[in-house]
């Protein structure tokens, strides 16, 4: 009876949110499979970066400027959540991703990634804290990418808990491309840690002298998309190339994804990078894009019932592409692509499926919005 009551309570919260959002203007779009509306749940966000859903129906949104916001009953709480870590704001850096602990309902733990300042500049960091009475308490840093460096590019910074219970963290190479091939450096890698920052004993480089044991895979430029396949449990990753060469990859322990030795992109001057597009021992992307780049960011697999013909599709936000990419899979191959919301003209930073089965999007703008895709019956 308690479980049923909680479900009805949550549905009530979601219905209130939807009713509040419907007061705001909605736009109608067509796709190959479904017609849908895009409804603004809330505006008033400054460069929102990531979204998480709480069991009580609230939403948490990070703003790159260093604020964590609560959306409750479809309304943005005017007061930011206190207790967030201090961030190094500049360029692409600031407060970035958010993830809930798999046992959040019991331990109230949330995880934040951000650009943190230190000797030599800034770098990707991860902290955890407890959410208690709309505030963060017991904040502690559990991961720091060093050395710090100057500049505001390529922090990566997606967070995802896998089925194994470990936290996967993407770390960009901070625009210093050779760092991605250095196993003694966390930059330019996908990292895998425990929920307190420890190293899982089966990480692929635990016993290799000179290698950082947190590294799960490497050779990544600026990975900003991370999602787990709902059936296989495989973790898929998307990263920015330079001029062209954006990629989608399937993560495999110990794999070298090639940057900057191999790439389908070129430098911004048009010059060639590395040794070509393939090399023995280096993974090929599942999908890559040429010029112009789409700049992939948030990623989600759709499993809901409101858009049955989208079930199993991957949705990928595109920043410079200003679109929502719908990617159709056949096993581990991407066999079809549709670009949605091109007429919206927004940089799509994050994509999440909500507990109500809808897709939610964050727009990267100083006047950022949380959007919801609703089916047209």
- Measure the CA–CA gap between 221 and 218, rounded to whole angstroms: 9
pLDDT digits (tens, 9 = 90+) for 296-332: 999 999 999 999 999 999 999 999 999 999 999 999 9
What is the rounded average pLDDT of the residues 272-290?
98
The two structure tokens encoding residue 175: 């625009």
Name the burial class of residue 88, with classes exposed (0-12), middle (13-18) and buried (19+) by CB atoms within 10 angstroms of its CB: buried
The answer to whether 74 touches 18, Cβ cutoff 8 Å, is: yes
Looking at residue 30, its pLDDT comes to 93
What's the pLDDT band for 25 if we cut at 50, 70, 90? low
Q: Report whether pLDDT(192) > 50.
A: yes
pLDDT at 4 over 90: no
pLDDT in tens, 54-93: 999 999 999 999 999 999 999 999 999 999 999 999 999 9
Q: 218 and 171 in contact (C-beta within 8 Å)?
A: no
Helix (H, G, I), strand (E, B) or coil at 20: helix
Q: What is the pLDDT of residues 98-130, one digit of tens each?
A: 999 999 999 999 999 999 999 999 999 999 999
pLDDT for 230 beyond 90? yes
Please tell me which residue, 288 or 377, carries the higher pLDDT value. 288
Residue with tokens 């006047």: 367
User: Can you read off the two tokens belonging to residue 88?
Assistant: 């190094």
**Averaged pLDDT of the chain:** 94
Instruction: Report, as an integer, the average pLDDT of 193-218.
Output: 98
Tell me if residue 154 is catalytic. Answer: yes
Q: What confidence tier does 23 reach under pLDDT thresholds 50, 70, 90?
A: very low
Contact 249, 283 (CB under 8 A): yes
The reported pLDDT for the residue numbered 26 is 82
Answer yes or no: are the C-beta atoms of 72 and 12 closer than 8 Å: no
All domains in the chain, ordered by first residue: 2-375 (2.120.10.30)
Q: Is the pLDDT of residue 24 over 50?
A: no
Q: Is the pLDDT of residue 18 over 80?
A: no
Strand blocks (E) in 241-322: 246-250, 287-289, 296-301, 314-318
User: What is the rounded distance in angstroms from the CA atom of residue 63 to the CA atom of residue 84?
Assistant: 11
Question: pTM for the full model?
Answer: 0.93
Instruction: For the chain, give the percent of residues with pLDDT over 90.
Output: 93
Q: Which residue in 154, 240, 288, 358 is the catalytic one?
A: 154
pLDDT at 377: 76
């Amino acid at each position: 009876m308690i479980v049923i009551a909680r479900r009805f309570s949550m549905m009530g919260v979601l219905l209130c949110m939807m009713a509040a959002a419907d007061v705001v203007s909605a736009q109608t779009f067509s796709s190959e499979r479904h017609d849908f509306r895009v409804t603004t749940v809330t505006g008033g966000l400054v460069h929102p970066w990531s979204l998480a859903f709480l069991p009580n129906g609230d939403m948490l949104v990070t703003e790159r400027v260093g604020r964590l916001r609560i959306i409750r009953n479809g309304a943005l709480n005017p007061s930011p959540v206190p207790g967030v870590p201090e961030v190094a704001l500049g360029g692409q850096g600031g407060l970035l991703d958010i993830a809930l602990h798999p046992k959040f309902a019991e331990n109230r733990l949330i995880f934040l990634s951000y650009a943190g300042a230190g000797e030599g500049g800034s770098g990707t960091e991860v902290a955890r804290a407890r959410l208690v009475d709309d505030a963060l308490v017991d904040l502690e840093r559990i991961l720091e990418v060093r050395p710090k460096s100057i500049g505001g590019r390529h922090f990566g910074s997606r967070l995802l808990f896998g089925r194994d219970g470990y936290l996967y963290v993407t770390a960009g190479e901070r625009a210093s491309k050779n760092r991605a091939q250095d196993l003694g450096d966390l930059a330019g890698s996908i990292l895998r840690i425990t929920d307190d920052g420890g190293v899982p004993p089966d990480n692929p480089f635990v016993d290799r002298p000179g290698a950082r044991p947190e590294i799960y895979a490497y050779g990544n430029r600026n990975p900003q998309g991370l999602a787990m396949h709902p059936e296989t449990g495989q973790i898929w990753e998307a990263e920015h190339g330079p001029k062209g060469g954006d990629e989608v990859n399937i993560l495999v322990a110990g794999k070298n994804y090639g940057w900057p030795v191999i790439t389908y992109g070129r430098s911004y001057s048009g010059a060639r990078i590395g040794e070509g597009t393939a090399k023995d021992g280096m993974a090929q992307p599942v999908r890559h894009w040429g010029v112009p780049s789409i700049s992939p960011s948030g990623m989600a697999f759709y499993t809901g019932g409101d858009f049955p013909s989208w079930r199993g599709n991957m949705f990928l936000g595109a920043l410079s592409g200003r679109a929502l990419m719908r990617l159709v899979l056949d096993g581990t191959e991407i066999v079809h692509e549709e670009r949605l919301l091109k007429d919206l003209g927004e940089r799509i930073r994050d994509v999440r499926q909500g507990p109500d089965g809808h897709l939610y999007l964050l727009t990267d703008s100083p006047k950022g919005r949380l959007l919801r895709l609703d089916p047209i019956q």
